[in-house]
Chain A
Amino acid sequence: MNTNITSVSQTHSGTEAAKMPEQHYLNAGYDLKSWLLTTDHKRIAVLYFILITFFFFVGGLFAALIRLELVTPKGDLLTADVYNRVFTAHGAVMIFLFLIPSIPATFGNFLIPLMIGARDLAFPRLNLLSWYVYALSSILFVTVVLLGGVDTGWTFYAPLSTSFANGYVVLTIVAAFFAGFSSIFTGINFIATIHKMRAPGMTWFRLPLYVWGHYATSLIIILGTPVVAIALILIAVERVFRIGIFDPALGGDPILFQHLFWFYSHPAVYIMVLPGMGVISEVIGCFSRKRVFGYKFIAFSSMAIALVGFLVWGHHMYVSGQSVYAGMVFSLITYVVAIPSAIKVFNWTATMYKGTIYLQTPMIYALSFIGLFIIGGITGVVLASMAADVHLHDTYFVVAHFHYVMVGSAVTAYLAAVHFWWPKITGRMYSEFFGKLAAIITFIGFNLTFLPQFVVGYLGMPRRYYDYSFAPEWQIWHAASTLGSTVLAVGFALPVFYLTYSLIYGEIAGQNPWGAKGLEWEEASSPPAKFNFDKMPIVNQEAYAYDTPARGQTHFRGVTSRESLSIPPTSAETSHI
C-alpha cells in the first residue's frame, strides 16, 4: 500500500543511496514563462528568494560605506549629505526589501502549504501578484537610489521629511507603500491558508510552531501595515500639497506622525522576528530529536506578542514630548511583552534537556540565535526603562540593540532556515564544513561589530552622525566595529559560494536528510512534487513526534495505524481565486 514516494521513509539511516525524484517542481518547466507566470507557491518562494538575496547584499554595500566612513572621526570618505542618503538607503532596503519579506515571503511561502498538507496557498494568484508588487517596489527603490537618494532616514520623521528634506521623498514613500501592500497580500494569504487548507487531522495544536509564528505575524501585517501606509501617504500629501498635518508651521502636529509611524513599526519588529522564532523552534526540535518543550506556551506566546505588541509603540517616544504618564504606561506594557519572548528562550533550552543533539549547521545557527537574542532582549528591557532610555535613546546603544534583534536574531534565524530547508528546496546538500564555518564566522563577526556599539552608545555617540571629531577618543570603538563588520561580511558571503556550488555538485539530499518529523519532510520528496503530495496526507500526530517511528511505518502517538486517503489532485486544489 505505501509504495508511493510520500510514504517511503528515507530517514537519516541512509541505507540506500538517495535519488532525485523524477518529477518535481523545479523540472516542471524550464522556460521563463513557467517561472514568471507560475502560481506554484514553491516557485514564487524561489523568485522571492532571488530578489531578497540580491537586496540583502545591496543593503550590505550601504552598510559597508557607513562603517568605512566611521573609521575616522572626521567625515572624509563621503559628504555629510551623501552619508545621510547612504544610511537612509541602508535602513530602507534592509527593512522594506529584505527583512520584512525575508522569512515569510520565501520560507513561509514555500513551507506553509507543505507543513499543513495543502497543495498551495489559498490564493495562488494573489501570491504571484504580491511578488510583482514587491518587484515594482524594489524597482522604485532602485530608481530613488540611482536618482540620488533620499535623506530622511527610514523613519520619515516630520517636519523634516515634509518641509525640509530635499531628496526623492515621495517616490520613496510610494515604494514603501507598495512593499507594504505586497506584505499585506502575503499576510491575507497565510491567514486564509492556515484557517482553511489544513489537511484532515491537522488540528491547530498539531501545527508546527513555525506555522503559529506565521499566523501571528500575518495578523500583525494586516492590522498594522495599513496604518503606516496611510501615515506615509499623509507625509506625501503634506509635502506635495502643503496641507498641514504634521508640520506645525502649517498647523500640524509632528508627534502625531511618530504615533502613527510607531504604531506599525514597533509591531513590525515582531514581523521581523516572530517567523524567525518559528524557525528556531523547528530546528531545535529536529536537532534535539525531541518534542519542543511547552508547545502550547510557545504557540500562545507568539499570539501574545502579536496582540500586546500593538500597545507598546510609545516606548520609542519617551523623550519626544509625549506626556510623562503616557510614557509610564507604555513602559509598563513593554516590560510585560518581554515576558513571552523570555518564555520562548527558556522553552528552547528545556527542549535540549534529555534530547539527542546533532550539531549540524542549522543547529549552530539556532544556538547562535538564542545567544544573540538574549543580548537583544536584555538591552531591550534596558531601553524599555524610561530612566535609561532618556540617556540612550537615539544613540548607538539603540543601534546595537536593534541589530542584535534584527540581524543577530532575525537574520541568523533566516540563515538557519536557509540551511535547514535547502535540501528540501533544491534536493541537494551543501558542504557541512563550510556551513559550520560560515555560522561560526558570522557569530564572531557579528559580536565584534555590534558589542563595541553598546559602549560607544553609552559614551553618548548619537546615531546618524557622520562626524564625531568632537570626541576623537571614541574612534577605537568605531574602528573595532568596522573591523568586525569585515569578518561579518565574510560570514554572510560564504554561503553564496558553497550553496551555489551545491546546486550542481552537492550530494543528492534524499527526502529527509535530517531525520526530521513534519509533513514537509516525511510526506514530500526533495524537491517536492509540483502539487506537493501525491495523496492528501492524513495527519495523526504533531510535527515533533520524535520518539515515534517515521510515518507510514508502524505506530504513532495516539493513533495506531495510519491510513492514506487517496484523493485525486483536482479536488484537493480547492479555493483558487
Chain B
Amino acid sequence: MFDLDIPFFPEQASTIAVLTDVFTFGVIGLGLIIGIIVVILMISFVVRYNHDTTADRTNPVDEHTTLELTWSFIPLVLVLSIFVWSANIYYNLYNPPSNAINMYVIGKQWMWKIQHPDGQREVNTLHMPVNQPIKLTMTSEDVIHSFYVPAFRIKQDVLPGRFTVMWFEATQTGEHLLLCAEFCGTEHSFMVGKVIVMEPDEYEKWLREGQTALGANAAAPAGQTISGDALFTQKGCVTCHKIDGTQGLGPNLKAVGTQVELDTGDKVDYNEEYMRESMINPQAKIAKGFSNIMPTYQGQLSEEEIILLIEYVKLLNGGK
C-alpha cells in the first residue's frame, strides 16, 4: 500500500541545498507569474472574442514594434539577473574551500569505492563528519558514472581516465541516499549507496575502529594490502624521484597546492589531477629543466594504486 505521507520535497542536508532550493523555486515562481499572466490573457481573449460575442473588434492591431521590444527586453533583463545568481552558486560549487578533507571515489560497474585520507576504504557507503567541507577526487575504472546525493543537491560525473572533483558540506547528521545518475549499463539502478554523516568525534571513532579492527589499510581486498610507500619503490618511481633529498633524473616531488613551471613556460597547478596525468600520460606536460624520459604507467597502475601513490607523494611533503 502507499505510504500516506507523500514526499514533496527532498531533505536539505548541505550548505548548498538551501541556496539551490531558493534559487530553483525563485526561478520557477518568476516563470509561473509570467506564464499565468499569459494564460489568463489567453483565456480572457478566447471568452471575450469568441465568434458569437459582439465585443468591440474595431482597430485590431497586428504589429506593434514598441510592444515587441518591451516583451523581448524584460525577459532578457530577467534571465540575465538569473544568470548572475546562478553563476554565483555554481562557481562556489566548483571551488572547494582550502580546509576541505580530501577523499577519493572510484566508480566501477556497479559500485562506489571510497577511500579516506588515512587509508580506510569502504564500498557503497561514505562516512563523513558534519559541518566539515569534504572534497571528493573521483575517477572511474570503466564507463562514466555520476556521483549524486539528492539531499546535498549536488552531482558530478565520474569519468574514466581522469579525476573530477566535487565538494560539499553536510549540515545534518544521518543517512542520505547516494545514487549513480549517469546511465552506466545493466545495473545502473543498483549502483546506490549511502552517505552517513556523523558528529566529528563519532567520525574519528569510526576511523579508529576501522583501523584497529582491520589493520592499517583496512578495507583493502585481500592480497592487495600494499602501501603507497612500498608501491613507490616497487614500481620504480624511486629510481628517478629521490626521497632522500638528492637530485635524481626526475624532479623531487613537491607539495600539492603549489604550481609547476613547464618547459613551455606555462604554469600549472600541482594537484591530484596533475599527478595522475604525470603517471598516465607523462608526455603531456614536461616539468621545466627535465627531459621527457618518464615512462607511462597506463595499464600498469590500477586506479587504487594511483591514489595510493598520490597520497604517498603528498605525505612526503607533510601530507598537504
B:1-15 near A, CB below 8 Å: 2-3, 5-10
CB pair B109–A346 under 8 Å, yes or no, is no
**Interface assignment of B253: CB less than 8 Å from any CB of chain A:** no
CB pair A460–B179 under 8 Å, yes or no, is yes
Given contacts A164-B109, A371-B39, contact A75 B51 (CB under 8 A): no
**Interface assignment of A386: CB less than 8 Å from any CB of chain B:** yes
Interchain CB contact (< 8 A) of B19 among A327, A328, A387: A387
Q: Which residues of A contact B143 (CB under 8 A)?
A: 157, 159-160, 163-164
Q: Which residues of A contact B49 (CB under 8 A)?
A: 288, 352-357
**Interface assignment of B290: CB less than 8 Å from any CB of chain A:** no
Mark contacts of A512-538 with chain B using CB atoms, 8 A cut-off: 1 yes-contact digit, 0 otherwise: 000000000000000000000000000
A153 to B59, CA, bound (A): 54
**Interface assignment of A558: CB less than 8 Å from any CB of chain B:** no
**Interface assignment of B199: CB less than 8 Å from any CB of chain A:** no
CB pair B160–A356 under 8 Å, yes or no, is no
CB pair B38–A374 under 8 Å, yes or no, is yes
CB pair A394–B182 under 8 Å, yes or no, is yes
**Interface assignment of A497: CB less than 8 Å from any CB of chain B:** no
Mark contacts of B175-217 with chain A using CB atoms, 8 A cut-off: 1 yes-contact digit, 0 otherwise: 0010111111111111010000000000000000000000000
- Sample of 16 more A-B contacts, CB < 8 Å, known A381-B27, A390-B20: A84-B186, A293-B63, A294-B64, A296-B63, A297-B68, A327-B90, A339-B79, A354-B60, A354-B61, A355-B45, A355-B60, A370-B38, A370-B39, A391-B150, A458-B10, A464-B188
CB pair A349–B45 under 8 Å, yes or no, is yes
In chain B, what residue has the closest Cβ to A345? B38
CB pair B68–A343 under 8 Å, yes or no, is yes
A470 to B38, CA, bound (A): 41
Kindly name the residue among A153, A164, A321, A336 whose own CB sees the greatest number of chain B CB atoms within 10 A.
A321
**Interface assignment of A38: CB less than 8 Å from any CB of chain B:** no
A:305-359 near B, CB below 8 Å: 318-321, 324, 327-328, 331-332, 335-336, 338-339, 342-343, 345-347, 349-359
Q: Which residues of B contact A356 (CB under 8 A)?
A: 49, 51, 57
A249 to B153, CA, bound (A): 31
Interchain CB contact (< 8 A) of A321 among B27, B32, B159: B159
CB pair A160–B150 under 8 Å, yes or no, is no
Interchain CB contact (< 8 A) of A248 among B50, B60, B88, B161: B161
Interchain CB contact (< 8 A) of A357 among B46, B76, B154, B182: B46
Number of interface residues of A (CB under 8 A): 99
**Interface assignment of B23: CB less than 8 Å from any CB of chain A:** yes
Q: 9 interchain pairs (CB within 8 A)?
A: A80-B189, A254-B159, A294-B68, A332-B83, A347-B68, A381-B82, A386-B87, A458-B9, A474-B7
Taking the nearest CB of chain A, how far is it from the CB of B155, in angstroms? 5
In chain B, what residue has the closest Cβ to A456? B7
Interchain CB contact (< 8 A) of B83 among A151, A248, A253, A331: A331
A294 to B69, CA, bound (A): 11
CB pair A290–B85 under 8 Å, yes or no, is no
CB pair B2–A335 under 8 Å, yes or no, is no
Interface residues of B (CB under 8 A from A): 2-3, 5-10, 19-20, 23-24, 27-28, 31-32, 34-35, 38-39, 41-42, 45-46, 49-51, 55-64, 67-68, 71-72, 75-76, 79-80, 82-83, 85-91, 93-94, 109, 142-144, 146, 148, 150-151, 153-157, 159-162, 164, 177, 179-190, 192
A235 to B185, CA, bound (A): 17
CB pair B75–A342 under 8 Å, yes or no, is yes
**Interface assignment of A473: CB less than 8 Å from any CB of chain B:** yes
**Interface assignment of A50: CB less than 8 Å from any CB of chain B:** no
Q: Which residues of B contact A464 (CB under 8 A)?
A: 183, 188-189
Given contacts A367-B46, A387-B23, A388-B27, contact A255 B159 (CB under 8 A): yes
Q: Which residues of B contact A358 (CB under 8 A)?
A: 51
Interchain CB contact (< 8 A) of A292 among B58, B62, B71: B62
CB pair B35–A249 under 8 Å, yes or no, is no
CB pair B87–A331 under 8 Å, yes or no, is yes
Closest 3 CB pairs of A and B: A248-B161, A460-B150, A378-B31
A361 to B43, CA, bound (A): 16
In chain B, what residue has the closest Cβ to A377? B31
CB pair A164–B185 under 8 Å, yes or no, is yes
Given contacts A320-B157, A355-B45, A382-B27, contact A165 B185 (CB under 8 A): yes
Interchain CB contact (< 8 A) of B3 among A247, A374, A377, A476: A476
A392 to B153, CA, bound (A): 8
A319 to B63, CA, bound (A): 43
A304 to B41, CA, bound (A): 26
CB pair B42–A367 under 8 Å, yes or no, is yes
**Interface assignment of A145: CB less than 8 Å from any CB of chain B:** no
Given contacts A319-B155, A349-B45, A390-B90, contact A248 B160 (CB under 8 A): yes
Q: Which residues of B contact A390 (CB under 8 A)?
A: 20, 90, 93, 153-156
CB pair B186–A159 under 8 Å, yes or no, is no
In chain A, what residue has the closest Cβ to B187? A80
Kindly name the residue among A81, A165, A473 whose own CB sees the greatest number of chain B CB atoms within 10 A.
A473
Q: Which residues of A contact B186 (CB under 8 A)?
A: 80-81, 84, 151
Interchain CB contact (< 8 A) of A324 among B90, B151, B157, B185: B90
A336 to B80, CA, bound (A): 8
Interchain CB contact (< 8 A) of B76 among A295, A339, A388: A339
Given contacts A349-B38, A357-B46, A460-B148, contact A321 B157 (CB under 8 A): yes
A2 to B49, CA, bound (A): 34
Q: Which residues of B contact A261 (CB under 8 A)?
A: none
Given contacts A320-B157, A460-B150, contact A357 B50 (CB under 8 A): yes
CB < 8 Å A-B pair total = 277
CB pair B61–A293 under 8 Å, yes or no, is yes
Taking the nearest CB of chain A, how far is it from the CB of B228, in angstroms? 23
CB pair B42–A382 under 8 Å, yes or no, is no
A374 to B143, CA, bound (A): 36
Taking the nearest CB of chain A, how far is it from the CB of B145, in angstroms? 10
A319 to B159, CA, bound (A): 11
Kindly name the residue among B8, B88, B190 whose own CB sees the greatest number of chain A CB atoms within 10 A.
B190
Taking the nearest CB of chain B, how far is it from the CB of A357, in angstroms? 5
Taking the nearest CB of chain A, how far is it from the CB of B43, in angstroms? 9
Interchain CB contact (< 8 A) of B157 among A319, A350, A375: A319
CB pair A460–B27 under 8 Å, yes or no, is no
Taking the nearest CB of chain B, how far is it from the CB of A215, in angstroms? 21
Q: Which residues of B contact A479 (CB under 8 A)?
A: 2
Q: Which residues of A contact B162 (CB under 8 A)?
A: 248, 321
A295 to B49, CA, bound (A): 21
A355 to B51, CA, bound (A): 8
Interchain CB contact (< 8 A) of A467 among B7, B150, B181, B190: B190
A378 to B41, CA, bound (A): 18
CB pair B45–A352 under 8 Å, yes or no, is yes
**Interface assignment of A171: CB less than 8 Å from any CB of chain B:** no
A464 to B101, CA, bound (A): 32
Kindly name the residue among B67, B79, B142, B177 whose own CB sees the greatest number of chain A CB atoms within 10 A.
B79
Taking the nearest CB of chain B, how far is it from the CB of A128, in angstroms? 38
A346 to B88, CA, bound (A): 30
Q: Which residues of B contact A379 (CB under 8 A)?
A: 28, 31
Taking the nearest CB of chain B, how far is it from the CB of A383, in angstroms? 10
**Interface assignment of A395: CB less than 8 Å from any CB of chain B:** yes
Given contacts A357-B51, A467-B189, A467-B190, contact A459 B20 (CB under 8 A): no
A320 to B157, CA, bound (A): 5
CB pair A343–B181 under 8 Å, yes or no, is no
CB pair A394–B146 under 8 Å, yes or no, is yes
Given contacts A80-B189, A324-B90, A468-B189, contact A153 B160 (CB under 8 A): no
A394 to B177, CA, bound (A): 16
A386 to B151, CA, bound (A): 17
